Amino acid sequence: MSPVIAIAGGKGGTGKTTIAVNLADALHRRYRLLLVDADCSNPCTRTFFSAAKALWQKEITLFKPQILEERCHYKACKRCVELCPEHALLAQPNKPPALIEDLCNGCSVCQIVCNYGAITEAQQVVGHLYFSEVDGNLHLLVSELTPGSRKNPVVVHHCMVEAERLSDHYDLTLVDCPAGTGIDLYLILRYATTAILVTEPTLLALSDLKKLSQLLLMAGGKPTILVVNKSGINPNLEKQIVSEIEAHYVVKIPYDHRIFRQVSSGRLLMHLSSKYAQIFDKLAEIVVQLAHLRC
């Protein structure tokens, strides 16, 4: 697998996607790049690449039970109801159990434990993967959770397996992570060779960043680049963050209200000012160095 750079933050809205798309833009001039949007709840990288050409899409499905009434011994047996780990099956008088789809996690325990072969396999669509081409050097793999589904870890896992499968065609893989510090992040960070932690100088962001740093250690520790976004709003706290969070490099992006406007309509920061083009060129250089790519 080619080097994988995970862009994470812990707290939501610190600027992960902004960093991911602008870094991708800076890198793809010289390298073949796969940009992966693993924030399946609200994948936003595509809002910056609206002209990307769709290449393929895939459904991500899981098992769900379908109960055959003529085989089900519902009067005498409630094994599936009792053994469902999510309590998604509800016993009913004079009828086979009812499925509460919202709770079904697709594990198929009900089918395994049924003694009468009364449960067959149906499918629930928990998400999609979309693959598209921005240009010859930049491809985009976007994961999307089906609204209402709780199976975000399954979607993230499938997304990363697909990214690994595709990665040989690229020099680098960049992954835009969801907010948080839970299993979704673990499923991504285990593949990462470098981590970019995007934060802002607020107590909230620092608290979440500490949890994320612990997770990074659990995932084996990685060369880390700390990106302090909205730099300058709280100088003392900023110093504290830089000293408390272990990172090999620190890159700062100054607080600038124009960034909000630029990002809000899906535009890249290099078009805002050459200052930002320089910042992302520098970040790209560090990434290339850590990934041991030829310059």
Partner 1 sequence: MPPREVVVASGKGGTGKTLVAAALALHLEAIAVDCDVEAPDLRFLLKDVVALIAQQEVHESRKAVIDAEKCVRCLRCAEVCRFGAIHVDSHRVHIDPILCEGCGACVHACPREAVSLYTTRTGYVVTAETGSGILLVYGDLAVGGRGSGHLVYAVKAEAQKLARQREVSLLIIDAAAGIGCPVISSIAGASHLIVVVEPTIQSLQGAKRLLEATHRFNLSKALVINKVTNEHQILLLQNSLNLPLLGVIPYDPSIPSIYASTASPFEASDRVVKCIVEVCNRASEWLE
Positions 213 through 252 that interact with partner 1 (CB under 8 A): 214-215, 218-219, 230, 233-234, 236-237
Interacting residue with partner 1 among 63, 74, 170, 280 (CB under 8 A): 63
By beta-carbon proximity to partner 1, the closer residue of 137 and 202 is: 202
Interacting residue with partner 1 among 78, 120, 204, 244 (CB under 8 A): 204
Say how far apart CA 10 and CA 245 lie, in whole Å.
13
Say how far apart CA 158 and CA 139 lie, in whole Å.
17
Binding status of residue 201 toward partner 1 by CB under 8 A: yes
Interacting residue with partner 1 among 193, 200, 224, 276 (CB under 8 A): 200
Point out which span in 22-30, 67-75, 79-87, 285-293 binds partner 1 (CB under 8 A): 79-87
Please state the φ and ψ torsions of residue 225, each to the nearest 5 degrees.
-115, 125
| Least distance to partner 1, CB of residue 37, Å | 12
Considering only residues 261 to 280 of the shown chain, the ones binding partner 1 according to CB under 8 A are: 261, 263-266
By beta-carbon proximity to partner 1, the closer residue of 39 and 171 is: 39
* Number of residues near partner 1 (by CB under 8 A): 72
Considering only residues 128 to 187 of the shown chain, the ones binding partner 1 according to CB under 8 A are: 145, 147-148, 150-154, 157, 161, 178-187
By beta-carbon proximity to partner 1, the closer residue of 182 and 274 is: 182
By beta-carbon proximity to partner 1, the closer residue of 29 and 239 is: 239
Point out which span in 7-15, 26-34, 65-73, 246-254 binds partner 1 (CB under 8 A): 7-15
| Least distance to partner 1, CB of residue 32, Å | 26
By beta-carbon proximity to partner 1, the closer residue of 75 and 257 is: 257
Binding status of residue 254 toward partner 1 by CB under 8 A: no
3-state secondary structure the chain: CCCEEEEECCCCCCCHHHHHHHHHHHHCCCCCEEEEECCCCCCCHHHHCCCCEEEEEEEEEEEEEEECCCCCCCCCCCHHHHHCCCCCEEEECCEEEEECCCCCCCCCHHHHHCCCCCEEEEEEEEEEEEEEEEECCEEEEEEEECCCCCCHHHHHHHHHHHHHHHHHHCCEEEEECCCCCCHHHHHHHCCCCEEEEEECCCHHHHHHHHHHHHHHHHCCCCCEEEEEEEECCCHHHHHHHHHHCCCCEEEEEECCHHHHHHHHCCCCHHHCCHHHHHHHHHHHHHHHHHCCCCC
Considering only residues 104 to 123 of the shown chain, the ones binding partner 1 according to CB under 8 A are: 105-109, 112-113
